[in-house]
């Protein structure tokens, strides 16, 4: 019969899980972060290297570094909990975190040039100049008069 590792003491296990922290750094060193045993972000540091990166590159570096730290956290949490058994929902979630791969960041497409509006016989009336020119009514306005004025984005009352 194979020797099974002894079950850890509850308080010891909880203390080890509470103290667990996994840190990861991006390839260029622009992003460094830490997560706890639950994979929750506990520290984020950005170096001056991010100044030369686009916002989408920064987001991608943070996301990929975060996933790397979560994987390490899940592996170490699984190792701590292994003496209690490797089945069940919690262990399934830890295995999922180890295998998770984020979606690739899409390359930003150039902004489309503004095209002339299609004229299919329907024309919306631009009343923005009318609204700016006329002062708001000082008292109550009849429903018919209010709705005849067109769509408004101010409060009706």
What is the pLDDT confidence band of residue 74, given thresholds at 50, 70 and 90? Answer: very high
DSSP 52: G
**3-class SS of residue 93:** helix
DSSP string of 38-93, one letter each residue:
T--EEEEEE-GGGGGS-HHHHHHHHHHHHHHHHHHHHHHHHHHHGGG-S-SHHHHH
pLDDT of residue 121: 59
**Distances 80 to 4, 36, 70, 96, 129 between C-alpha atoms, Å:** 14, 14, 15, 17, 68
pLDDT in tens, 82-117: 888 888 888 888 988 888 888 776 656 555 656 655
Q: Return all residues near 41 (Cβ < 8 A) that are at least 6 apart.
A: 33, 34, 35, 66
Question: 74 by DSSP, 3-state: which?
Answer: helix
pLDDT for 103 equals 78
d(CA 50, CA 29): 9
Which pLDDT does position 155 carry in this prediction? 60
Confidence category of residue 1, pLDDT binned at 50, 70, 90:
very low
pLDDT in tens, 10-29: 899 999 999 999 999 999 99
């Amino acid at each position: 019969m194979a020797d099974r590792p002894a079950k850890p003491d509850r308080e010891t296990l909880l203390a080890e899980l509470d103290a667990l922290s996994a840190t990861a750094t991006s390839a260029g060193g622009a992003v460094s972060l830490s997560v706890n045993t639950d994979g929750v972000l506990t520290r984020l540091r950005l170096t001056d290297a991010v100044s030369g990166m686009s916002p989408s590159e920064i987001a991608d570096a943070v996301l990929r570094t975060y996933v790397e730290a979560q994987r390490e956290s899940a592996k170490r949490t699984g190792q701590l909990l292994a003496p209690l058994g490797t089945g069940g929902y919690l262990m399934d979630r830890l295995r999922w975190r180890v295998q998770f791969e984020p979606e690739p960041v899409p390359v930003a497409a150039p902004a489309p040039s503004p095209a002339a509006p299609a004229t299919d016989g329907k024309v919306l009336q631009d009343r923005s100049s009318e609204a700016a020119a006329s002062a708001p009514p000082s008292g109550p306005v009849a429903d018919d008069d209010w709705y005849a004025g067109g769509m408004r984005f101010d409060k009706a009352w």
